[in-house]
Amino acid sequence: MRLAFIALALTVSAPLAQAASQPDPAADMKAFQGYFLKQFPKLPLAAYVNGPYNFSKSESDQWKQIMEFPPYQFAVDDGKKLFETKFPDGKTYASCFPNGGIGIAQNYPMFDAKTGKVVTLGIAINRCRVANGQKKLKLTVGPLADISAYMTSTSDGKPINVVIPHNPKALAAYEAGKEYFYTRRGQLNFSCASCHVQAAGMHLRGDVLSPALGLTAAFPLYRSSWGDMGTLVRRFIGCNQKVKSEPSKPDSTAYRDLAYFMTYMDNGLPESGPGARP
């Protein structure tokens, strides 16, 4: 079985062609998704949300077992309680979001024309807290991951729908995220694409490297190696550290833009967070 996976993986060769000079997110997305669909012709688009499980029989068997009692269920339950608990001013999180925060996670990250910045779901949750006189929560783990897990669970299966408006700042944010993704960094000099495009589906020691397509779709997720839930920025920090590069701050512009680019590439895939990984 392993052999078949190796053969699949070996067909991946050159990384994606780099940008044309004029930002064209829609064309980039088409090329990005097309690249992977061509590399792994047996994998339908929607399957990419399952990341490493597409490439390893043993891991997907393990996954089926794990999913009988999804390890993120506690987070969803705790998150729901937190989401519905009133702030001292009597309002709840629902007051800060369209549709009361239900079934909208697939639209994040979002560009906020007022601040000219990208807002991830986590940052929107913190904004809501600040608007209601509360302290910000950590963006990587803990209650904020739980609230995100609950909100994301109400979007289960909805197509990811990140919008890049015709606004120079939105386009610049998208381009910055894209550049971050393809830039080599750290003592080991890897880009995100080195592992998740060039080596997608191959084994880095015991880990199967998930293709870049679908990478954001199952967040927040429970990782057995973490022993708890983590958000997408938690993973960014982990992958930066792997190659001995300096991670950015969880709420940094760099990570917001990176999430904007990566999630836009996943447009059309079914929202499938919260997820579980080995």
Partner 1 sequence: MKTIITVVALGLLSSVAAAGVAAAATPAEIAAGEKLATTTDQGNCDACHMFKGADEAGNIGPELKDVKSMVPNRKEFYAIIYDEEARNPQTIMPAFGKNQVLTPKQINEVIDFMYTK
Contact residues: partner 1, CB under 8 A: 6, 9, 14-15, 187-190, 194-195, 198-199, 202-206, 209
The one segment of 2-10, 57-65, 132-140, 194-202 that binds ligand HEC by CB under 6 A: 194-202
For residue 44, the Cα-to-chain-centroid distance in whole angstroms is 19
Q: Where are the strands (E) in 80-148, listed by range?
A: 110-112, 117-119
| Residue 195 interacting with ligand HEC (CB under 6 A) | yes
Q: CB nearer to ligand HEC: give 35 or 93.
A: 35
- Quick check: 196 binds ligand HEC (CB under 6 A)? yes
The whole-angstrom separation of Cα 213 and Cα 269 is 9
Give the residue, chosen from 15, 203, 242, 253, that forms a contact with ligand HEC under the rule CB under 6 A.
242
- Under the criterion CB under 6 A, does residue 231 sit at the interface with ligand HEC? no
Instruction: Classify burial at 100, counting beta carbons within 10 Å of its beta carbon; exposed 0-12, middle 13-18, buried 19 or more.
Output: middle
79 versus 214: smaller Cβ distance to ligand HEC: 214
Q: Where are the alpha helices (DSSP H) in 95-252?
A: 121-131, 143-153, 168-182, 192-193, 232-242
Shorter beta-carbon distance to partner 1: residue 1 or 14: 14
The DSSP letter of residue 194 is I
| CA–CA separation, 237 and 17 (whole Å) | 26
Binding site for ligand HEC (CB under 6 A): 51-52, 190, 192, 194-196, 204, 207, 209-210, 215-216, 218, 221, 232, 235-236, 239-240, 242-243, 258, 277
Question: Which residues are catalytically annotated?
Answer: 239
